[in-house]
Every structure is written in C-alpha cells, then in structure tokens.
Amino acid sequence: MLEQLVTFFVVLFVVVEPVSLIPVFAGLTEGASAGYKRKMACKAVVIAGLILVAFAFAGGALLNVLGISLDAFRIFGGIMLFLIALDMVFVRQSGARTTTTSEEAEVRRREDISVFPLAFPLIAGPGALATVLLVTGSVSRASLLFWGQIAVVIVVLLTALLAMLLTPQLMRVLGVTGANVVSRLTGVILGALAVQFVINGLRGSLEGP
C-alpha cells in the first residue's frame, strides 16, 4: 500500500507541478497586497481540493453511467499525461493547464482569480482529474488505501499552497530559468509514468474481465 501511495504522490505532484505555479502566481498577483495573495492562494487550494475529492468519490460512478471502462480511461489518461509531459520537457504551454488569450483577458478583468485560472485549470486541471480517477477508480471507498489516497491529494495541495505563499522568496531563488529546469526534469518522470498507465490499460483491455 505504501508503494502505491508513493507512486500516486509522485504522479499527482508532477501533474499539479507546484513549482510551475510560482511564476504564474507571481504574474497574476503582481502589485497586489500580501493579504490578497494569501486569500487567493488559500481559496484556490480549497476549491481545487473540493473538485479533486469530489472526482475521487464520484468519478468512477460517472464512468459506469457513461459505459466507459476504467482500462479505456487509463489509456486516454496516460496519453493526455504524456502530452503534458512533452510540454513540460520542451517548456511549452500545455492546453490542459493554461488559458487562451481571451481567457487571459478575462483574468485581467477579474478581481478574484482563485477559481479561474488558479483552481481550474492550473491546479485541478484535466491532468490532475484524470490522475485521481486513474488511481482511485478501482479502489473501494471504504478501504484504508482510498483514504490514504485522499490524504495524498491533500498533501500535494498543501505543497501547492506553500509554493504560492512563498512565491516572492522562491522567485528570487529559482527565477524563471530554474523553474523551467525543474519542469523539464519532472516532465521526464511524468512521461515514463504516463506510458506505464497506457501499458496497464492495454493489458487490462486485452486480458478482458
């Protein structure tokens, strides 16, 4: 069980990528007061947590209603995570975690950036939602493993919160270049894990029930 939880932590941490939130959060809150930054960071993490936990509880049931097998979702989720990994390795903007030009204009007009774009799509984006469902989909909701996975989600979100709260200090240490280097390294790890998701999905589909 410990090995499964550690693997889940690594995957979700790499997908949420708290380090990449640092320059984004710095840009979105440039010139704002410390109180505003703290409020937006805390609110964003709480909302993202509610989204991810709700998906962990109800995501499997949603797939059943739609008639989608977990193996099929593993394959799709693995492909999507692999594309995100490529974006991280080549330091490109991922469509799964960034906003369009029109959305960016909307952000500049909004005073509350906690829901959009911080909670979604930057923290609880499609990649994070897919990861949560891939890992929790076949686990009993009454098991100790499932609640351990919920705890992992909370730990990753707290890491993201810490990164945003310490953005000024971390930007002085890392800078944009340092953040990109970390992004490339974690992207390689995510790519390998994404391929493993696809392999597991294909194996499950071929073996059948």
pLDDT digits (tens, 9 = 90+) for 57-108: 998 788 888 888 878 878 888 888 788 788 878 866 555 555 555 555 544 4
Assess whether pLDDT exceeds 70 at residue 122: yes
The long-range contacts involving 23-27, CB below 8 angstroms and separated by at least 24 positions, are: 23/171, 23/176, 23/179, 24/122, 25/118, 25/163, 25/164, 25/167, 26/167, 26/168, 26/171
If you average pLDDT over residues 15-25, what whole number do you get? 85
pLDDT of residue 184: 80
pLDDT of residue 109: 45
- If one compares 67 and 146, the residue with the highest pLDDT of the two is 146
pLDDT range class, residue 153, cuts 50, 70, 90: very high
| CA 111 – CA 93 distance, rounded (Å) | 24
If you average pLDDT over residues 158-178, what whole number do you get? 87
Average pLDDT, the chain: 84
Q: How large a percentage of the chain has pLDDT more than 70?
A: 88
pLDDT of residue 37: 94
Assess whether pLDDT exceeds 50 at residue 143: yes
pLDDT of residue 97: 53
